Structure 1
Amino acid sequence: MAASIGSLLGEISSVDDPIEELQSLKTALLSIPVNALRSSVSGQRLNGIFSLLNTNEREQIELCVDILDRILMALSPVDLVQNYRAELQGGLTHPDGAVKILALTQIGRMVEHPDAITQILNNLDILQDVIRCIGEEKMAVAKQAIHSLSKLSHSKPGLDSLFQGELLKVMKDVMATSDVVRYRIYELIVDISSVSPISLGYCANSRLVTQLLGELTGDDVLIRATAIEMVTALARSQHGRQYLAQQGIMKKISNMITGADTDPYSSFYLPGLVKFFGNLAIMDSPQQVCESYPIFHNKVFEMAMDPDPAMMGVALDTLGLLGSTVEGKQVLQKTGEKFKSVLVRMSQVASSGATELRVRSLDAIAQLLTLQMEQQTEDLLALTESWFRLLSKQPMDLICNISTQPFPELHCGALRIFTAIATQPWGQRLMINTPSFMEFILDRSTGQTKEAKDAKFELVRSLVSSSTTAAILGSQHYLRLKSYLREGPYYVSAVAAVGIEGAD
């Protein structure tokens, strides 16, 4: 096969219309596993394929990109930098986006390799061209450029090169292109900052992080909304959160939430501010965040009652996030009647809101009610049961009715609530005391989509995993549940299969 690939490579460079030969070469390459391809292409020169990229023929470019992608991925980064650096750099200025992405992907491999990166850093012009690709019109090209450049942050020489001298100047020049491109550079800065405290230090010293933080209070509300997304991403790392705290950003965002009441344009950025604190609470401490910034959970409760679907949706997601931890559950419980009113509202939305909000409400309720086995203390079990009973006078009937509606996403959302309470003794008692409920669980004819079958299977798995199931549901139901679990989510009985075949 190596000889075949070699001859095909030779033939391509000598024909006027290479499409057929390119297709044959692509087929031959696909027939060889990637791990075996390196020996087949070792020593072969690819100049002919690279030269065929210089055309306006779309099919020819696509075939060349597919072929080069397959071959270059089989070569080591050192091979690439030694033999194809110039060709790949040329690909960065090619008019076709697919060629740019091919080049950027391979350059990303080179800057990750300790030997290959040395040669790249000795020729910074290639990295300048990569930075300029962030300003490309096609988002896919810009994303790949950001991804490849962020890999420089994994080494000190890479960081030194990117944030000292000419490359930093090029980066700032590219930023000036437009608001959109400026935020792409911020995305790169956040990606690099998230790697380690050292990489964050480089970004901070470049003043680009300070510039990003300054965007939070800019006059343009859309830019402000984008800035808060970037800052939220920066807060995902512990060192990022520490830096933001040192810069007083948490207090600034808290004040922005307070000031949103008097800003007619706050709906553009307020959801992002709430998401910021929601993520912060989960990563650090729900109690600490809610106590330090009480405006946060007060605003969440307020948004949960807001008729604006955008506001309510963010509130539902945030409540689910907060309530997914034991500490978050306890924080919500401490608010007393405020949270009880919100929970009743969530139940109303789950019953009769717009479909998307119904699904988000069901998911949030499921998170609020979930307790892992090791978390099931007497107090926490009493808490989740009291919350469940607040949903309706007949909460089991409410969720059962939702589960039978002809919308797969609602069906699965209802099943997730049943799964949440399935390991808790009070939930099992409600199930066994609800007429026909166990038959519903064990009936494989309900919910025919893959998602519905998977959701039902998770419910069965949760019941079987609980140590109290057999005693509360009875041995007969328990054995049928174990049989369901053993058969898997997609089991079809032989009798049913014969019946279906006969009907056909």
Structure 2
Amino acid sequence: MAASIDSLLREISGVEDPIEELQSLKTALLSIPVSDLKDSVSGQRLNVIFSLLNSNDREQVELCVEILDRILLALSPVNLVQNYRAELQGGLTHPDETVKILALTQIGRMVEHPEAATEILNNHDILRAVIQCIGEEKISVAKQAICSLAKLSHSKPGLDKLFQSDLLKVMKDVMATSDIIRYRIYELVVEISSASPISLGYCAKSDFISQLLGELTGDDVLARSTAIELVTSLARSQHGRQYLAQQGIMEKISNMIKGADTDAFSSLYLPGLVKFFGNLAIMDSPQQVCETYPVFQNKVFEMALDPDPVMTGVALDTLGLLGNTVEGKQVLQKTGEKFKAVWLRMSKLASAGATELRVRSLDAISQILTLQPEHQTEDLLALTESWFHILSNQPMEMVCNICIQPFPELHCGALKIFTAIATQLWGQKLMTATPSFMEFILDRSTSKTKEVKDAKFKLVGSIVGSSTAAEILGSQHYIRLKSYLREGAYYISAVPLVSTEGAD
């Protein structure tokens, strides 16, 4: 096959319109596993393919990119940097975005390899061009540039090069291009900062972080809504949260939530502020966050009852996150009637809201009702059981009615609720006491789509995996459920042929 690729490359170099030959080469390359391709292209000079990128023929450029993407993936980063560095550098300024992405992807591979990375670090022009790609119109190009630079920053030499050389000025110049590009640089800085406390130190010293935090607390409400997303990403690392706490950002965000009631434009940034504390609660402690910043919890309840579907949706997602943990369940329980009012609204939305809100309500309800086996104490089981019965006078019937509606996303959401209670003793007792429920679960004809089949299979797996299932359900149902599990999610029972005597 190496000889075949070699001959195809030779054929391409002597053809004026090489589309057909390029297609043949692409087909040949795709027939070889990438793991075996290295031997087939070792030593080959791909200059002819790189040269063909300089064309206005879109089809030709696309074929060349696909061929190079396949071949270069088989080569080591050291091989790339030694033999194709100039060609890849040229790709960074190519007018076609697919060529830029190809070059950026390969440079990303090189900066992850210690030996190859040294070569790239010593090539100022390549790094400057990569940074400038963040300012490209196509977001796909900018994203790949951000990814490659983030990889470069995983080493101290990479951090030194980005933040302690004139490349820092290049980043700031690119940043000044427009509001959109500025936030792309912030995205890069947050990704770098999240890697380690040392990385965060470099970014903080360069003033990028303080500038971002200034936008969060500034007067521009549109800037706030974008900045809060990036600050939330920074808070996902422990050292990031510590830094934000040291800068007093949690208190500032809490005060911004308080002041939202008197701001006509708060709907633009309030959901982001709530998401920030929701993520903070999950990463640290729901109880600590809710007690330290009570305005957050109160605002979530308020938004859950809000007629604005955007506010309601964010509240539902946040409640699901909080209630998925034992500590979060206890926090919700302590609010008493406040949570009960919200819980009833969630039930109403699940049954008769707009489709998107119905799905989000079902997801949140299933998360709040979920209780892992190791957490199934008497008190917590009593709590989830009481919440389930508050949903409706006939909660099993309510959820079953959602299952039979002709919307797969609602069917899956309802099955998630059954999956949540399937491992809990009271849930299993309810299932056996509900007429025709086990028959409904075992009836494969009610599962029309792959998503529903998968959701039902997960439900069956949860029931069978419970230590109390055999005793509570009875041997007949338990054996049939085990058979369902053994047969798989997509099993189709054979339909026997019936012959008619005397028929031709």
TM bin (shorter chain): over 0.9
Match of 1:13 in 2: 13
Are 1:252 and 2:252 counterparts? yes
Equivalent position amino acid for 2:163 in 1: F
Q: CA deviation at 1:206?
A: 0.7
Q: Which runs of 5+ in 2 are unaligned?
A: 500-504
Aligned counterpart, 1:353: 353
Instruction: Say how many residue pairs are matched.
Output: 499
**Separation of aligned partners in 1, 2:390 and 2:347:** 8
Deviation at 1:130, TM superposition (A): 0.3
What is the CA-CA distance between 1:497 and the residue it aligns to? 8.9
Cα distance between partner residues in 2 of 1:351 and 1:261: 30
Distance in 1 (CA, whole Å) between partners of 2:497 and 2:249 is 62
Structure 2 counterpart of 1:191, which letter? E
- 1:220 Cα deviation from its structure 2 partner: 2.2
Deviations 1:111-160 (A, max 9, x none): 11100111111111100000000000001000000001100121110000
SS at match of 1:236: coil
Deviates more, 1:462-471 or 1:58-67: 462-471
State the partner residue of 1:423: 423
Cα distance in 1 between the residues matched to 2:132 and 2:107: 14
* One-letter amino acid of the counterpart of residue 351, structure 1: S
Q: Which residue number in structure 2 is paired with residue 400 of structure 1?
A: 400
**1:380 corresponding residue in structure 2:** 380
| Distance apart, 1:429 and its partner CA | 1.3
RMSD across aligned positions (CA): 1.2
Secondary structure class of the residue paired with 2:446: coil
Q: Which residues in structure 2 correspond to 1:314-333 (within 5 Å)?
A: 314-333=314-333
Q: CA deviation at 1:203?
A: 0.7
Quick one: distance in 2 between partners of 1:112 and 1:390?
A: 54
Aligned-partner Cα distance in 2 for 1:77–1:132:
22
Aligned counterparts, 1:48-447, within 5 A: 48-447=48-447
The C-alpha deviation readout for 1:266-320, integer Å capped at 9, x for no partner, is 0010000000000110011000100110000100000000000000000000000
> Amino acid of the residue matched to residue 490 of structure 1?
Y
- Distance in 2 (alpha carbons) for counterparts of 1:82 and 1:183: 34
SS across alignment from 2:44: coil
The aligned residue for residue 485 of structure 2 is 485
Question: Cα offset for 1:489?
Answer: 1.1
Q: Distance in 2 between matches of 1:180 and 1:103?
A: 23
Q: Distance in 2 between matches of 1:485 and 1:496?
A: 23
In the TM superposition, residue 496 of structure 1 has moved relative to its aligned partner by 7.2
For structure 1, which segment, 6-15 or 295-304, has the greater mean C-alpha deviation from structure 2 after superposition?
Answer: 6-15
How far apart are the structure 1 equivalents of 2:445 and 2:133? 53
Q: Flag the 1:497–1:63 CA change in 2: closer, same or farther, 3 A.
A: farther
Superposition deviation, residue 498 in structure 1:
8.2
Cα distance in 2 for residues equivalent to 1:19 and 1:437? 61
Residue 458 of structure 1 corresponds to 458
CA distance in 2 between counterparts of 1:330 and 1:67 reads: 57
Give the Cα–Cα distance (whole angstroms) in 1 for the partners of residues 337 and 419 of structure 2: 27
Q: Helix, strand or coil for the counterpart of 1:445? A: helix
Amino acid at match of 1:65: V
Q: Which amino acid aligns with 1:348?
A: K
- SS of the counterpart of 1:494? coil
1:495 to partner: Cα distance: 2.9
Moved more, 4-13 or 263-272: 4-13
Residue 471 of structure 2 is matched in structure 1 by 471
Distance 1:357 1:497, change over 3 A: farther
| CA-CA distance at 1:327 after TM superposition | 0.5
Given the two structures, how large is their TM-score scaled by the length of structure 1? 0.97
Residue 11 of structure 1: CA displacement? Answer: 2.2
Measure how far apart 1:218 and its partner are.
Answer: 2.3
Distance 1:92 1:433 in 2: 66
> What CA distance in whole angstroms lies between the structure 2 residues aligned with 1:402 and 1:95?
52
Shift, 1:6, TM fit: 1.4
Q: Write the letter of the residue equivalent to 1:201.
A: G
Looking at structure 2, the residues matched to 53 and 247 of structure 1 have their Cα atoms a distance apart, in angstroms, of: 50
User: What letter corresponds to residue 469 of structure 1 in structure 2?
Assistant: A
2:148 alignment partner AA: S
Listed one character per residue, the Cα deviations across residues 180-218 of structure 1 (whole Å, up to 9, x for unaligned) are 000000110111111111111111111101111111022
Q: Match of 1:115, SS?
A: helix
CA distance in 2 between partners of 1:392 and 1:478 (Å): 28
- State how far apart, in whole Å, the 1-side matches of 2:99 and 2:30 are: 19
Q: Which amino acid aligns with 2:109?
A: R
Flag the 1:498–1:93 CA change in 2: closer, same or farther, 3 A: farther
- Give CA deviations for 1:317-352 in whole Å, capped at 9, x if unaligned: 000000000000001101111001110110011111
Paired letter, 1:457? F
Query: Aligned partners of 2:211, 2:383: CA distance in 1, in Å?
Result: 45
Supply the distance in 1 between the matched residues of 2:404 and 2:29 (Cα, whole angstroms): 51
Partner of 1:502: none
2-structure distance, mates of 1:425, 1:224: 47
Partner of 2:502: none
Distance in 2 (CA, whole Å) between partners of 1:474 and 1:99 is 63
1:428–1:167: structure 2 CA closer, same or farther, 3 Å change rule?
A: same
Task: Name the SS for the 1:380 alignment partner.
Answer: helix
Secondary structure in 2 matching 1:495: coil
Deviation at 1:219? 2.4
CA separation of 1:376 and 1:103: change in aligned 2, threshold 3 A: same
- Quote the offset at 1:20 in angstroms: 1.5
Could you tell me which runs of 5 or more consecutive residues in structure 1 were left unpaired when the two chains were aligned. 500-504
